[in-house]
Amino acid sequence: MRKDSKIYVAGHRGLVGSAILRKLKSEGYTNLQYKTSKELDLRDKNQVDRFFQEEKPEYVFLAAAKVGGIVANNEYPADFIRDNLLIQTNVIDASYRNNVEKLLFLGSTCIYPKMAPQPLKEEYLLTGELEPTNEPYAIAKIAGIKMCESYNRQYGTKYISAMPTNLYGENDNFDLKTSHVLPALLRKFHEAKDSKAPFVEMWGTGTPKREFLYSDDLADACLFLMNNYGGNEIVNIGVGEDIKIGELGEKIKAVVGYDGEIRFDTTKPDGTPRKLVDVTTINSLGWKATTSLEEGLQKAYRWFLENEIIKK
């Protein structure tokens, strides 16, 4: 991409999109396009078509999506499959019809089978059953991947799909009903510290392992792929290391400065037992994550405090 290329960041206010926007600005890209969901509802085909016809972006980062953790996925499965299918279908198709030069579609590692071998290689896609708790979301994302691949095959487009591992960072969602595990725990430990609660309750057994990537590292990887990758295969983005959820709780407890105990509610689901991605492909292309979990947690908690996420 040239520094003056017309670049559209879909979902610029979310965790991923805002990080991509910050990265582009810091790297000197000057012709950036973005709209709030009130200004442009990506679920509405007519609105999306009008935007692309009028603005004619050359590059698209498709980071807009309806996302959430186990609770949200369990309670709103119809919303997750419908909204994500609509968003990605409208944007990908409008990109093709308006001659977008290149598009990067962001999926998720939940696309991989629940019991796939670890670490998760790109080739494991569609080799087994999905994790039931987020199957509607995963199926929508798989459809987006296949849509990009199919448009490339049929129309000669340059649409690439990146699969980030679990993310956290600035502009994260800290709502306890709809957030992912790490931001939810940051908030729970913060509230427990404030209220001097004797313990914090965590879901499940604490034994599942998860990998966590800081959002600014993901943005760096997305820009790297947009400028350096042109293949039709999906590419994992992660750090290549994981941690038990119970150990994550201990790290967050330390960062927040909470001195109570951690209790596990084993009546609640654990979700997938392990989700570590194989990052051989992106590492071989020349990119590696640089933010440690400790550093990332401190940055995320600082942002949480500065933005008064739960101000009463």
- State the CATH number of the domain containing residue 31: 3.40.50.720
Is 141 annotated as belonging to a binding site?
Answer: yes
How many domains does the chain fold into? 1
Q: From start to end of the chain, where are the E strands? A: 7-10, 32-33, 59-62, 102-106, 159-164, 166-168, 199-203, 209-210, 212-214, 235-237, 243-244, 261-265, 274-275
Structural domain contains residue 221: yes
Count of CB atoms situated within 10 Å of the CB of 139: 17
pLDDT of res. 177: 78
Domain-embedded: residue 191: no
Does the annotation flag 15 for ligand binding? yes
- Give, for all 312 residues of the chain, the pLDDT tens digit: 999 999 999 999 999 999 999 999 999 999 999 999 999 999 999 999 999 999 999 999 999 998 877 777 888 899 999 999 999 999 999 999 999 999 999 999 999 998 899 999 999 999 999 988 889 999 999 999 999 999 999 999 999 999 999 999 999 988 887 778 899 999 999 999 999 999 999 989 999 999 999 999 999 999 999 999 999 999 999 999 999 999 999 999 999 999 999 999 999 988 778 889 999 999 999 999 999 999 999 999 999 999 865 544
The whole-angstrom distance between residue 302's C-alpha and the CA centroid of its chain comes to 20
Query: Does residue 72 belong to any structural domain of this protein?
Result: yes
Q: Is 17 helix (H, G, I), strand (E, B) or coil?
A: helix
34 an active-site residue?
no
Given the residues 59, 137, 151, 229, select the one marked as catalytic. Answer: 137
What are 214's strand-pairing partners?
168
C-alpha to C-alpha distances, 79 to 188, 229, 300, nearest whole angstrom = 26, 32, 28
Whether residue 43 is annotated as binding a ligand: the answer is no
180 is in an annotated binding site: yes
Does the residue 258 lie in any domain? no
127: which 2 tokens? 């080799």
Yes or no: say if 90 and 44 are a contact pair by the CB < 8 Å rule.
yes
| The pLDDT of residue 308 | 65
CA atoms 37, 38, 39, 45: torsion sign: positive
Are 63 and 17 in contact by the 8 Å Cβ rule? The answer is yes
Domain that holds residue 25: 7-171+211-241+275-291
What single-letter DSSP state applies at residue 11?
Answer: T
Q: Indicate yes or no: pTM above 0.85.
A: yes
Contact criterion met (CB below 8 Å) for 215 and 170: yes
